[in-house]
Copies of this chain bind each other. A is one copy, B any other.
Amino acid sequence: MTQKADRDQIRRQNRSVVLQALRRKGPQARIDLGRVTELSPATVTSITSDLIAEGLVVGVDEPGQREREKGVRGRPRSLLALHGAAASILAVKLSVNTIELALADYGGTLIARGAASFDSVAVTAEGFGQTLVETIRNFLAKHDIGRPPVIAIASQGVVDDSAGTVAWSPAFAVRHVPVIAPLREAFGVACMLSNDTNMIAEALHRIDPVRYGGTFAVLFVDYGVGMGLFVNNRLFVGETGAAAEIGHASHIPGGALCRCGRRGCLEAYLGDYALRRHALRLDPQTPPSTIPVARDTIRGLINDAENGDAGALDAFRAGGTALGYAFARIIATLDPRRIVVTGAASNAFPLMREAALAALDEALVADLRGDVEIEAIAWEEDLILRGTIARALHSLDTEVFAETGVSALQMPVGGQA
């Protein structure tokens, strides 16, 4: 049953709508905010003056503005913008042997970036929290910032967002590694944990909410296969946060041997090791650990294929077939508007397309397919960190700062209090 509504809720929602408008459309005058949000000018004035008093929004003087309005009569518009110093976000990306960090302000401006290495294999459930805390502490010290109010982490593998742990990741030998708890304890700040592929979906949605909206899926094909899912314009993570973990869902019962030890996972046909295994014409049961892969394995295979190497071509054809079946199963279950393929292997999509579409035809009645669009987009490493930042900012806009009477989480900068 729906919840009751009261007056406070209206204000909360409208504050949030104004903040989101400023985030989406950049600095703008009150009159524009009124048009975008459909709130009356009177209400916009009321809400923005609160937000300004609380330090969440500031008046800005955009230099270009003056000239662009040269010769326009009337009272000049005074632009408002999100106040960068109102909060800051530390986005952390966990992958094999690497922790990447990015610091952004409330306006979404990137302030600093960094990276650190660690030994994934040696990680213990207890020790990793400490590693993470130290890495973050070092990074923050180097960038002269006291206390980031929000830490958002994106991790490979299966994330349990209610427990705040990484339930299972190719990066770790151990399971159920606590992440949120040690950070909250060390820094006493709000923390959130997400799956990395979900953050790709989030980034795409923030970049183009129309194209990447409604219900859509992102397939990340790289060292493994991940999936990010939006349902009804919202990130969907399931009951425990483990939704969209299609990489280790079964493609062919009893099929090729996967890294996870099971047989027939989608990843065992599409992961970098799987493609190489196929290209080398090794037995599908060859243990993945014995197959040499590196960061650029997929690029190498694409090169080989483009030079006419039959093994590589075959590997992508087989991968394409698996991909097509994955499309079919996603469509049958979710009827999405769009499926996006990205990751290192997205460059190989032209090599896989034909097999993928043939498999889709074979696997799904045409009447079930709807109008789903399938596209491959070039892979950018940064998408994950950008999505992570975007998600954290959105949660500030809708949850923290929507609350009336909350002043900015003041960020001490430099030596000043």
Partner of A334, one of B14, B243, B336, B337: B243
A328–B250 touching, CB < 8 Å: yes
Is A214 an interface residue when CB atoms closer than 8 A count as contact? yes
Is A335 an interface residue when CB atoms closer than 8 A count as contact? yes
A332–B252 touching, CB < 8 Å: no
B2–A367 touching, CB < 8 Å: no
Chain B residue at smallest Cβ distance from A13: B5
Distance in angstroms from A134 CB to nearest chain B CB is: 27
Is A145 an interface residue when CB atoms closer than 8 A count as contact? no
Q: How far is the CA of A83 from the CA of B297 in the complex (A)?
A: 69
Chain B residue at smallest Cβ distance from A168: B367
Is A368 an interface residue when CB atoms closer than 8 A count as contact? yes
A168–B1 touching, CB < 8 Å: no
Is A352 an interface residue when CB atoms closer than 8 A count as contact? no
A37–B241 touching, CB < 8 Å: no
Where the two chains meet, the residues of A that have a C-beta atom closer than 8 Å to any C-beta of B are 1-7, 9-10, 13-14, 16-17, 20-21, 24, 37-39, 158, 167-168, 175, 209, 214-215, 227, 229, 231-232, 236-246, 248-250, 252-254, 260, 262-264, 321, 325, 328-330, 332-337, 359, 362-365, 367-368, 370-372, 398
A248–B17 touching, CB < 8 Å: no
Q: How far is the CA of A285 from the CA of B157 in the complex (A)?
A: 39
Q: How far is the CA of A329 from the CA of B209 in the complex (A)?
A: 28
B262–A365 touching, CB < 8 Å: yes
Chain B residue at smallest Cβ distance from A167: B367
Distance in angstroms from A264 CB to nearest chain B CB is: 8
Chain B residue at smallest Cβ distance from A243: B335
What chain B residues lie within 8 Å of A13 (beta carbons)? 2, 4-5
